[in-house]
Structure 1
Amino acid sequence: MEGTIFSIIPALLMLVLVLLTRKVLISLGAGIIVGALFIHDFNLFGMVKEIWFIFYEIFVSEGSLNIGNILLLSFLLLLGIMTAFLQASGGSRAFGDWMIQRVKTRKGAQLMSAVLGLIIFIDDYFNSLAVGQIARPLTDRHRVSRAKLAYFIDSTSAPVTVISPISSWGAYIIGILGGLFAANGITDIAPLEAFIKMIPFNLYALGAVLLVFVVAYFKMDIGPMRTHEQRAIKTGQLYDPNQDNIPGDLGDTFKPHENGRVFHLLTPIGVLIIATVLMMVITGINNTEGTVNILTIFANTDVNLSLFTGGLIAVLTNLLFHLQQSKPKANTMKIIIEGIKTMLPAIYILLLAWMIGSIIGTLETGEYLAGVVESASISPSLLPFLFFIIAGIMALATGTSWGTFGIMLPIAAEVTSISNMDLLLPTLAAVLAGSVFGDHCTPISDTTILSSTGAGANHIDHVLTQLPYAIIVAVAASVGYLLIGTLNQVVLPLIITFAVIIGICLLLQFLVKTKLSDE
């Protein structure tokens, strides 16, 4: 079944079940079981052995601990503990009181969340979790639904990091470009120069960021998002009350400390940001052989170790504040235990997402889709459009942007270097754009999982509410890529992409108002 059309069945089954049942753990589990059966030709013993081996490899790989995964999971637990301390200390409540005097509207709260996503661009994981911690107290006070906050976080994490050369994503992509150019004999452009020139061709990333601000400013609540926003405004219920196990949300577990101050929230978060970025620089320098510069630092940084270190120092800062406060309202162990419990749903989803990602990798789903593209007879003018679509499908099925980069960028470089070198950079940018689009649509993406965790939203609610917005941008980007292939320029296609996004938004707003007036 490996490398054949049957290899897409587990991913397709998982996606269909998610949409039908809204039960992400059951859906992921079904995909894992069916995929393992395919790998072992429906041998039940082989299936069980495969599933155990994949789970075991998350923690132990090639006879040694898988430190990266363990550190990331540990960071999530630390983030839960930190969230509990922030609530128990009264820092979250104080920050909400302080900000609501300065940001007096729901629109302002949403715009601030979007701006924070642009500012924290070093890494998508870091963006997803840090923005949620900062913005949530304010958006909660203004009755902005958690699903909408998750959308703001997710649509300003990967779309921003994928166009930023000074980020973990940018460094990774530049490294891939260097190898591709050498393999294809491309010597007239440096990888960094190519990356920067590709930015305006990344229509989905730029369009996604534009749409975030359109949604925030013009109250563009469409599809399932409208239901969540209306519930939040009318009842103050920020997520579906019928959904259990909201990651990162403590509800009313603790009564905030009466003497909580703004610095009880801002100081630990500041410590988290500073310690994490500093550790990224230190690990990047230590892991770099040869010339050390800003790009090599972020190309070689250890993100998971940096997150864990920053999280640990931030939790210790929280603990110090907690011990200094008079008459704490909750004992220390209860805070730690409750904080850990809030992160368990996110960890369960992440573990199963990693497992189905491994299954899909063994089935060579990505390689099959890539082979279909490579063997097809394609008009050069359609290359940017087709690579955008195929990269989106691959990222949707596999749940990994980086994996899609690694598979599709070499194919895009080879095809365009043979057929039309003028379309090299637009086609490579289309691969990046499609990968982020697929990442936004799949429930098994790390970034999507962490965005819902950071916002304290139900994971499937986040996926379903973000989907219409992702499709709007993808439709507009598709039009842009067709024009790029035809016109071989970027300014007009970029303008038209933005115009299509705004046009679709205006049309949807008109239809919603018409429907409301009829009712």
Structure 2
Amino acid sequence: MTVLSYADSALSLLPPVVAILLAILTRKVLLSLGVGILIGTFLLNQWSIHDSALYLAEKVSGLFWSDGAINSWNLYILGFLLVLGMITALITVSGSARAFANWAKQHIRKRRDAKLLTMFLGCVVFIDDYFNSLVVGSICKPLTDRYYISRAKLAYLLDSTAAPVCVISPVSSWGAYIIALIGGILTTHGMASTGHLTAFVEMIPMNYYPLFALLLLLFVALFELDVGPMRRHELNARKGQLYDDSKGVPPGATAELAEADSGKVGGLFIPISVLVVATLYFMVSSGAAVLSSEGKTFSLIGAFEKTDVSASLFFGALLGLATTLLLAFRQKLPLRDIAVGLFVGAKSMLPAIYILMFAWTISGVIGQLETGKFMASLASGNIPFALLPAVLFVLAGLTAFSTGTSWGTFGIMLPIAADMAMGSHQSMMLPMMAAVLSGSVFGDHCSPISDTTILSSTGASCHHIDHVTTQLPYALLVAFISLGGYLVMGYTESVVLGLLCCLVLFVAGLFWFRKRADS
């Protein structure tokens, strides 16, 4: 079975473009992803039905069994989703979610404060984007529901704190991965003496999109800047319709469960706290074990670089589930209610799991089509150096949007950005790599096939395409602001002037959004 490469062909864009357009037009995510997968499979196998069937079977089985061994990453992530669904359902059954909502109503008296608390928790829980979206969503859903904040707004709050915070935090799975990539790039270009962590920290103020995405989120939470489809969702939520029920029950929802009257606030916070602490412990300990086996000295950044994120999430969730069960037994909940809660909780995550599996499959197909390499090749040629930071930002955004992975885009385009800088202005290496990081997060935010976007929808119990369409106007505004900053940075070679340009555009964007919201 011969598989073709399309690294030099625009045909490599066909599967993701078809999948994304279909998802937006039909709002049927699984159908859209399935069509994209089939088109990519046929392209790779020269339209041979037999070879395509064999290839697709290999891809699907590879989600669970790869290279002669269990695909532990995928299975642990799927297990984490199921266990988290069980925890959330048991917290609901115990009445703890209702107790927390009642407590919050006494202490948090405004919709604005509920949104600010959600944003604050999203910034505090920064160790991993999956973890951020799902755990913060579980905590804040009862609170935002109490104040009639739409699930689409909650998904936006989760998604716009998850990746933006992780990409500028060195002590996170994202930060460790980026630092490792930067270290290899600097060593390759004879700059091994430059501190890898120092380089990462220096890039933070150059990372315009994450910084201004967080700043815009703050103003949206403070001043009700609801525009586009978000405005409709928020108006419906004020009438009691938190999500579009004409599309069915969204992933992660457990509305069919009965709630006990004896719930306590601790029934929500204790299991989630155990989950957070246990996950953090497993992340550090698994990374430390790898460092020890390689004969390296322990460091927190090094541990996060080597950590097994998926296993840590799963085992942390198991401890969280055990704690939730102990509290349920202590509360003397009927065994039948506990069993129903476990079943309904796991079942509620199945739609998200199906979407995630389809997204992983199309990402594998797109990876073999080498769509990312084709997108990266567009940056080569006779482009004026002053335009390169802006061009890299746009291309990284398009690549992440098309492939659904910011991490894959980092791996492809960071070395290209460094090579371009070394060929002309070495001093612009870090700003150009920061432009790639920014663009990757932007593309990931907008992509319906991004796993982070999918899990933000799941954490908020929001229909996936509703989250994508409501977040899009905010992401595009920040992208426009960032693009202006990178243009100024390219022409002036000044990070500060680029930031000032972003601030001016940000203020103008706020006035425009305010006018749209008022109208």
Q: TM-score range by the shorter chain?
A: over 0.9
**Which of 358, 371, 375 is the matching residue for 1:369?**
375
Tell me if the contact between 2:237 and 2:243 (Cα under 8 Å) persists in the aligned partners. yes
Name the counterpart of 1:49: 54
Cα shift readout 1:2-32 (whole Å, capped 9, x = no counterpart): 2111110011101110111011111000000
Q: Distance in 2 between matches of 1:332 and 1:120?
A: 28
Q: Distance in 1 between matches of 2:413 and 2:288?
A: 29
Name the counterpart of 2:427: 422
Q: What code does the residue aligned with 2:248 have?
A: D
Name the counterpart of 1:278: 281
Tell me if the contact between 1:256 and 1:329 (Cα under 8 Å) persists in the aligned partners. no
Q: Distance in 2 between matches of 1:332 and 1:218?
A: 41
Q: Distance in 2 between matches of 1:392 and 1:238?
A: 31
Q: Distance in 2 between matches of 1:108 and 1:511?
A: 23
The range that moved more, 486-495 or 48-57, is 486-495
Q: What code does the residue aligned with 2:347 have?
A: K
Tell me if the contact between 1:255 and 1:329 (Cα under 8 Å) persists in the aligned partners. no
Q: Distance in 2 between matches of 1:76 and 1:111?
A: 26
Cα shift readout 1:413-453 (whole Å, capped 9, x = no counterpart): 00111111121111000000000000000011111111111
Name the counterpart of 2:243: 239
Give, in angstroms, the shift of residue 323 of structure 1: 1.7
Tell me if the contact between 1:37 and 1:47 (Cα under 8 Å) persists in the aligned partners. yes
Are 1:262 and 2:268 an aligned pair? no
Name the counterpart of 1:225: 230
Q: CA RMSD in A?
A: 1.2
Give, in angstroms, the shift of residue 60 of structure 1: 0.3
SS at match of 2:326: helix
Cα shift readout 1:366-424 (whole Å, capped 9, x = no counterpart): 111112213x1111111110000000000000011110000000001001111111211
Q: Distance in 2 between matches of 1:398 and 1:282?
A: 32
Q: Distance in 2 between matches of 1:259 and 1:512?
A: 42
Percent identical among aligned pairs is: 46
Name the counterpart of 1:331: 337
Name the counterpart of 2:317: 311
Tell me if the contact between 2:29 and 2:465 (Cα under 8 Å) persists in the aligned partners. yes
**Which of 93, 96, 104 is the matching residue for 1:91?**
96
Cα shift readout 1:240-297 (whole Å, capped 9, x = no counterpart): 111124111111x222111111011111111111111111111110111212101101
Give, in angstroms, the shift of residue 329 of structure 1: 8.4
Q: How does 1:188-203 map to 2 (within 5 A)?
A: 189-203=194-208
Q: What code does the residue aligned with 1:286 have?
A: A
List 4+ stretches of structure 1 deviating above 6 A: none
**Which of 350, 356, 359 is the matching residue for 1:344?**
350
Name the counterpart of 1:7: 12
The range that moved more, 492-501 or 123-132, is 492-501
Tell me if the contact between 1:257 and 1:329 (Cα under 8 Å) persists in the aligned partners. no
SS at match of 1:101: helix
**Which of 446, 461, 470 is the matching residue for 2:466?**
461
Gaps of 5+ in 2: none
**Which of 297, 321, 342 is the matching residue for 2:303?**
297
**Which of 487, 490, 513 is the matching residue for 1:482?**
487
Q: Distance in 2 between matches of 1:106 and 1:391?
A: 36
Give, in angstroms, the shift of residue 319 of structure 1: 1.1
Name the counterpart of 1:172: 177
Tell me if the contact between 2:485 and 2:501 (Cα under 8 Å) persists in the aligned partners. yes
The range that moved more, 196-205 or 126-135, is 126-135
Gaps of 5+ in 1: none
The range that moved more, 333-342 or 404-413, is 333-342
Tell me if the contact between 1:88 and 1:330 (Cα under 8 Å) persists in the aligned partners. no
Q: Distance in 2 between matches of 1:495 and 1:302?
A: 39
Tell me if the contact between 1:449 and 1:459 (Cα under 8 Å) persists in the aligned partners. yes
Give, in angstroms, the shift of residue 505 of structure 1: 2.4
Counting matched residue pairs gives 511
Q: Distance in 2 between matches of 1:244 and 1:49?
A: 34
SS at match of 1:157: helix
The range that moved more, 359-368 or 238-247, is 238-247
Name the counterpart of 1:437: 442
Tell me if the contact between 1:284 and 1:298 (Cα under 8 Å) persists in the aligned partners. yes
Tell me if the contact between 1:254 and 1:329 (Cα under 8 Å) persists in the aligned partners. no
Give, in angstroms, the shift of residue 486 of structure 1: 1.1
Tell me if the contact between 1:245 and 1:345 (Cα under 8 Å) persists in the aligned partners. no
Q: What code does the residue aligned with 1:297 have?
A: A
Tell me if the contact between 2:488 and 2:501 (Cα under 8 Å) persists in the aligned partners. no
Give, in angstroms, the shift of residue 512 of structure 1: 4.0
Q: Distance in 2 between matches of 1:411 and 1:5?
A: 19
- Alignment CA distance shift 1:198-1:477 (3 Å): same
- Alignment CA distance shift 1:9-1:117 (3 Å): same
Tell me if the contact between 1:283 and 1:302 (Cα under 8 Å) persists in the aligned partners. yes
Give, in angstroms, the shift of residue 327 of structure 1: 4.8
SS at match of 1:292: coil
Q: What code does the residue aligned with 1:2 have?
A: Y
Q: How does 1:99-114 map to 2 (within 5 A)?
A: 99-114=104-119
Give, in angstroms, the shift of residue 328 of structure 1: 3.0
Q: What code does the residue aligned with 2:272 have?
A: I
Cα shift readout 1:439-493 (whole Å, capped 9, x = no counterpart): 0000111111111111111111111111111000000000000000111112232
The range that moved more, 319-328 or 363-372, is 319-328
Name the counterpart of 2:384: 379
Tell me if the contact between 1:88 and 1:329 (Cα under 8 Å) persists in the aligned partners. no
Tell me if the contact between 2:252 and 2:459 (Cα under 8 Å) persists in the aligned partners. yes
The range that moved more, 500-509 or 53-62, is 500-509
